[in-house]
């Protein structure tokens, strides 16, 4: 079904219902949190009720956003007596949000899925998925601007700007289209402050994050004729430095900057012998989403991730093998 038809359908659902629950994925990024808050505020501006859910700690980079302190961890905290509409934002798969699926099945009347990942599983009753869009926030802007323009305010504009800013790598990645810049120019009319948003996200680091950086850089390895670069962070590093998981944000982008590198990988231990592995491609020829897919994860062609259990050394070897097989001439 066409995207336009589904935008219309979602606007009808919003207009004819009153109770909403909005979800985003675990280990949320700026697009997940920005989309979540923008949608929440729109529903509130329409005089309806909404709750936000994210089953992970709140990254300090996004604490400055309005209503960030209202995000709940679990649907069991929701006081609705009647069935509600569920919206999943920036989730390629429903499992990315890790909802209590039994509770959800019992209490939700309809699931709406809005996302921009190519690997989206179309798990919703209504799906608005467009992998040509830079961010989920871009799709949400198109929906709001077409059907709810009168309800867009400064807080919504600030949240959508954050989603697009972060998912385009500060307007640097190949997904930074002329449509993106057009949308940004409209968002700027709502009197948002780009330098405040920039410094809140990118110049708000705890000092120990530099100690973490020191560790990551000390551990950097090059393999496969120096075409794959990787490093790792252990759970005990986060603990010893008293840093939250989100302090690793942006570090993999430093690894990708090395000349002639094709893939960068950062292994992050989330639990004993459980690693979240972020992958970045520095060259259009390598699709890291397909590599992440192989391991049960996903993402985009240039940025993807997966979770794997095991010993670090074995996971590294396994990844190198799969990269070799997938990109023979890496
Ligand atoms: P990051 O490395 O920044 O955590 O994630 C890079 C990209 O991969 C993002 O688009 C993110 O949504 C996606 N991603 C991260 N972790 C997972 C995962 O476990 N499963 C899937 N399907 N996608 C992921
Ligand atoms: Mn996104």
What are the chain's domains? 3-202 (3.90.1640.10), 208-327 (3.10.310.30)
164 CB-near residues (< 8 Å, 6+ apart): 31, 34, 134, 135, 137, 138, 141, 180, 183, 184, 187
For residue 44, report the phi and psi dihedrals to the nearest 5 degrees. -65, -45
Structure tokens of 268?
Answer: 């992050």
Task: Give residue 169's pLDDT.
Answer: 96
CB atoms within 10 A of CB 186: 14
With a 6 Å cutoff on the Cβ, whether 298 touches ligand 1 is yes
d(CA 144, CA 223): 46
Amino acid 156: pLDDT: 99
Q: How many CA atoms lie within 13 A of 206 on its CB side?
A: 16
Instruction: Give the rounded distance of the alpha carbon of 198 from its chain centre.
Output: 17
| pLDDT tens string 226-276 | 689 999 999 999 999 999 999 999 999 999 998 888 899 999 999 999 999
Residue whose CB lies within 8 A of the most ligand 1 atoms, among 135, 305, 306, 309, for a mutation test: 305
Q: Which ligand is nearest to the CA of 136?
A: 2
Collect residues with CB below 5 Å from ion ligand 2: 31, 90, 135-136, 167
- Nearest bound ligand to the CA of residue 164: 2
CA-based angle 128:133:136, to the nearest 5?
A: 60
**What's the pLDDT score for residue 285?**
63
Stretches in the chain below the pLDDT threshold 50 = 329-330
pTM: 0.95
- Is the distance from the beta carbon of residue 281 to the nearest atom of ligand 1 less than 6 Å? no
Can you give the pLDDT at residue 158? 98
Q: From the CA of 115, which ligand is nearest?
A: 2
Evaluate: CB of 121 within 6 angstroms of ligand 1: no
Give residue 262's pLDDT.
87
Q: What is the pLDDT of residue 183?
A: 98
């Amino acid at each position: 079904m066409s995207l336009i038809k589904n935008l219309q359908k979602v606007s009808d659902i919003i207009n004819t219902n009153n109770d909403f629950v909005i979800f985003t994925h675990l280990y949320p990024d700026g697009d997940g949190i920005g989309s979540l808050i923008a949608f929440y505020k729109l529903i509130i501006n329409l005089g309806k009720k909404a709750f936000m859910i994210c089953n992970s700690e709140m990254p300090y980079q996004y604490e400055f956003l309005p209503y960030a302190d209202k995000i709940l961890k679990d649907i069991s905290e929701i006081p609705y007596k009647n069935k509600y509409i569920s919206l999943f934002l920036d989730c390629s798969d429903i499992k990315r949000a890790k909802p209590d699926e039994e509770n959800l099945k019992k209490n939700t009347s309809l699931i709406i899925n809005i996302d921009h990942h190519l690997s989206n599983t179309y798990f919703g009753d209504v799906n608005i998925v467009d992998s040509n869009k830079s961010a989920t926030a871009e799709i949400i802007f198109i929906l709001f601007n077409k059907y709810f323009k009168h309800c867009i305010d400064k807080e919504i504009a600030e949240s959508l700007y954050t989603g697009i800013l972060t998912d385009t790598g500060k307007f640097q990645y190949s997904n930074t289209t002329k449509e993106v810049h057009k949308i940004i120019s409209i968002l700027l009319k709502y009197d948002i402050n780009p330098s405040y948003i920039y410094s809140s996200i990118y110049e708000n680091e705890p000092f120990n994050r530099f100690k973490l950086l020191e560790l990551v850089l000390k551990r950097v390895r090059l393999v496969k004729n120096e075409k794959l670069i990787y490093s790792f962070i252990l759970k005990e590093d986060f603990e010893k430095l008293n840093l939250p998981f989100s302090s690793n944000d942006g570090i993999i982008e430093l690894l990708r900057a090395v000349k002639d590198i094709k893939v960068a990988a950062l292994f992050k231990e989330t639990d004993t012998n459980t690693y979240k592995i972020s992958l970045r491609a520095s060259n259009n020829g390598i699709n890291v989403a397909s590599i992440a897919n192989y391991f049960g994860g996903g993402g985009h062609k240039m940025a993807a991730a997966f979770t794997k259990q095991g010993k670090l050394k074995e996971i590294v070897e396994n990844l190198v093998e799969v990269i070799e097989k997938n990109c023979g001439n890496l």
